[in-house]
Amino acid sequence: MSSGLLRSVRLSEPYLHSPVDDLESFYYTTQWAAVHKERSSAGRNETDDLKVLRAGLSGSADNRFQASLWIHRIRPNNQEDVRKFGAFLPRLQPVLKEWYPSILMLLRSWRNVKDGFDGTNVSRYYTRHALVFAYRGVADYLNIVHKHRESLR
């Protein structure tokens, strides 16, 4: 779930869901899947670092943010990090590290556009801009994956 949606639920405040929320949720789901992938490897011993990282990603928004920062510091070609986290997460790290700021920039832009909504034409205005942001976010993600495609093999 996106940080904005989590905050809305925690504070019981109304919230205008956006496509950027969906992109952020996809980001966190991708992180979670990458961190939990090694669990499916038969006979693999979980390291303490991996356990802490998994707990952080399943915790509060603040814990999830800290876990994300930790993932961004994983060194893709470092054998110690591969031993701690398995092979997949370090390989995916460059994508996650570049993707996160891309989502934050998109979120800032969305907030600027959302501030321009007025109560009379929210539906029409929202739909038009939501599609633009959704397509832009998916295009940003695909460009990042394409850029790092060799390291993902």
**CB distance 56 to 64 below 8 Å:** yes
**What amino acid occupies position 35?**
V
Distance in angstroms (rounded) separating the CA atoms of residues 130 and 109: 12
Torsion of CA 56, 61, 66, 69, to 10 degrees: 110
Tokens linked to 20 = 């950027």
| Tens digit of each residue's pLDDT, the chain (153 residues) | 888 888 888 889 988 888 999 999 999 999 999 998 865 454 456 778 888 898 898 888 888 889 999 999 999 999 999 988 888 999 999 999 999 999 999 999 998 888 777 666 667 778 888 899 999 999 999 999 999 999 888
Q: What is the pLDDT of residue 43?
A: 46
**CB distance 92 to 76 below 8 Å:** no
